[in-house]
Amino acid sequence: MSEQLPQINVTSARATRLSYESACSAVLENCQLSDFKEKNVIIQTLYSGISRGTESLVYHGKVPITEQSRMRCPHQVGEFTFPLSYGYACVGKVIDTQSDVTRVKKDDVVFVLHPHQDIFCVSEDACNLVPKTLPPARAVLSANMETALNAVWDAKIANTKNHMVIGAGVVGLLTAFSLKALTRKSPILVDINPAKKIQAEQLGLSFKTPDQLSNNNSIEMDHIFNTSASEKGLQLAIDAAGFEAKILEMSWYGDRPVTLNLGGAFHSKRLQIISSQVGHIAPEKRKTHSYSDRMQEAMKLLSDDRLDALLEPEISFDTLPDHLHDIFNPNSSALCQLVKYKNT
């Protein structure tokens, strides 16, 4: 990363952002910076990350009408009926601030929930200071790690010892990683793709396929986290649950209905299915933690160099629209796509 970024004339600066023009179609378009008013900062983006879960739903035009209000991300431009700019994993350097800004200063590296854009203007309150020990590229995982951390808080792990995470995508890997880091107990990570064992082992996690689980009749989990975005994954969680187990459903299904078998031992085992969503802080932490506090704790969990295994080789922002079809291909096994911007 270069030490000095070019000076920006804020009054005349133009920015470039990714715009989803219609389902499965995106372009880079010029735009004007927002007004540079009090308590505002100007950020020049170094990296952004693409969420293959949520952002794929946006790209394919699969956000249900009933959820469009809740699905809006900070600084989104446009509506889900297209065109729109969407995304929430930008890491950049502060290149200018108003005189009344106190939380960040020029040259600080910050994480912002912002769509893919090379230069942008936001309130200082939107900026999360990236620790100097955290590489800017890895910091694009901050929002995903925040989701994982919130789910662990939602679970109220206490003294339980048998934990499972279903789905070895970015959020699943981060959930399993944070579980081990916070409880000192290694969860079982489950995915239908045996190749995911590579990333699991890189993070020091135990990995199994569903077939390997089915051969072990003694498995009864206390907490199961489903991040697979599939009804089969949620059914597997129910089937693997022990007495009075908690199942944390972290997936979001868009407009797809989900069918489950709630017969069998579901009631006799007194199972609980709990929704975990990052929009609100877990109840047990709500009185003691702000959103900023939660983000800082998530960033601390990202300090481990092994988490670079979740980042796909970087691509240039200038060519991003050309890569989106492959990135959002349902058959892709890619994790977090890292997008590199000029002057990085």
Domain parsing of the chain, residue ranges: 14-133+309-340, 143-285
Mean pLDDT taken over the chain? 93
Burial pattern 154-163, b for ≥16 Cβ within 10 A else e, equals bbebeebebb
Render each residue's pLDDT in the chain as its tens digit; 344 residues: 444 555 555 555 789 999 999 999 999 999 999 889 999 999 999 999 998 888 998 999 989 898 899 899 999 999 999 999 999 999 999 999 999 999 999 999 999 999 999 999 999 999 999 999 999 999 999 999 999 999 999 999 988 889 999 999 999 999 999 999 999 999 999 999 999 999 999 999 999 999 998 776 667 999 999 999 999 999 999 999 999 999 999 998 877 889 999 999 999 999 999 999 999 999 999 999 999 999 999 999 999 999 999 999 999 999 999 999 999 998 888 899 999 998 76
Q: How high is the pLDDT of residue 1?
A: 45
Specify the CATH superfamily of domain 14-133+309-340: Medium-chain alcohol dehydrogenases, catalytic domain (3.90.180.10)
Distance CA 220, CA 343 (A): 51
pLDDT in tens, 143-191: 999 999 999 999 999 888 899 999 999 999 999 999 999 999 999 999 9
Q: Which residue has the tokens 């239908």?
A: 192
pLDDT in tens, 123-136: 999 999 999 999 99
pLDDT in tens, 282-298: 999 999 999 999 999 99
| CATH class, 143-285 region | alpha beta
Determine how β-strand 206-208 pairs with β-strand 40-50.
Answer: unpaired
The answer, as to whether pTM is greater than 0.75, is yes
- Residue 339 phi/psi, 5° resolution? -110, 125
Distance CA 108, CA 93 (A): 6
Distance CA 301, CA 279 (A): 19
Distance CA 181, CA 186 (A): 9
Distance CA 47, CA 130 (A): 13
Distance CA 219, CA 245 (A): 12
